Amino acid sequence: MSKPIATLSRTREIMKQYELGFKKSLGQNFIIDANILKKIVDQAGIDEHTVAVEIGPGIGALTEQLALKAKQVLAFEIDQRFIDVLDDTLNPYDNVEVFHQDILEANLLPFLNKHVEEGNSVKVVANLPYYITTPILMKLLREPLPIHSMTVMMQREVADRMAASPNTKEYGSLSIAVQYYTDSKVVMTVPKTCFIPQPNVDSAILRLIKRDQPLANVKDEALFFEIVQASFGQRRKTIKNNLQRAFIDRFSKDMIQQWFEKSGIEPSRRGESLSIDEFAVLANACHDLIQTE
């Protein structure tokens, strides 16, 4: 059995063989510790009934570990240079398909309907490029996809924000957007020494288990997220000040004051002190008052 791809010597050998460099513009940092990858696969709960969707397989280090456990691996790679490499490095595995496509542009619902047999569970597992972590996750969360969970490696600071609780400095609109759709937990940290080239920061593995229903009962999701975003516009200001600033062209101060009266939320509070349920109450009060205008 040859060495795992996720070793320093094998990674260097592959990069040299294909005359490849690391593209900073695509946030490419390759993991060189197979044990870390095995732990990620375990944390993701990959088994013979899992279709694993991977984003950005690179030279196939994580893909290889997924292929050893999953029924099937569907990998999206945006960088043309790696398509031939993956053909070679993943040649021993007949349960892997690589698609040369940007995940952000993929029409995922018909894709998954076509490739996933009934009775199999879809789990996303990925070492996400730092610069595009949030757009990728929000696409996967907001589209009505049959995804059970996402276990993703990302910058430690971003993972902490996504899993943060109210009344912490990490808690903000990103925490709410992620937790509205999922049960989120940081399950591992990964030191920068496990990568080549070494990033400037440590990474973490965040496991997101999709909720059957969103966490809160919201009448208008777009309005809910708009209010959440606005409430954290300036963290030191009260929610009322932030909302007045954000909605100045659409609603009078009197109207915004009515939102608080109807919702029972104290306007002098700051955004970081509100739970997701409280934001839902405020957004629903706003929705009802707009309807009656």
Is 27 labeled as ligand-binding?
no
Is 77 labeled as ligand-binding?
yes
Select from 45, 27, 37 the least CA-distant residue to 147. Answer: 45
The encoded tokens of residue 284 equal 């629903």
CA distance 259 to 287: 9
Is 29 labeled as ligand-binding?
yes
Select from 283, 156, 124 the least CA-distant residue to 164. Answer: 156
Place of tokens 């009322």: 240
Is 56 labeled as ligand-binding?
yes
The encoded tokens of residue 46 equal 């990959």
CA distance 90 to 98: 10
Is 102 labeled as ligand-binding?
yes
Q: Which residues of 150-167 are buried (b: 16+ CB within 10 A; e: fewer)?
A: bbbbbbbebbbbbbbeee
For 290, phi and psi rounded to 5 degrees? -65, -40
Q: Count other Cβ atoms within 10 Å, centred on residue 179.
A: 22
Which H/E stretch holds residue 229? helix 221-231
The encoded tokens of residue 59 equal 């030279």
CA distance 148 to 50: 10
**β-pairing, 30-31 with 195-196?**
antiparallel
DSSP summary character for residue 211 = P
Is 196 labeled as ligand-binding?
no
The binding site for S-adenosyl-L-methionine consists of 29, 31, 56, 77, 102, 127
The binding site consists of 29, 31, 56, 77, 102, 127
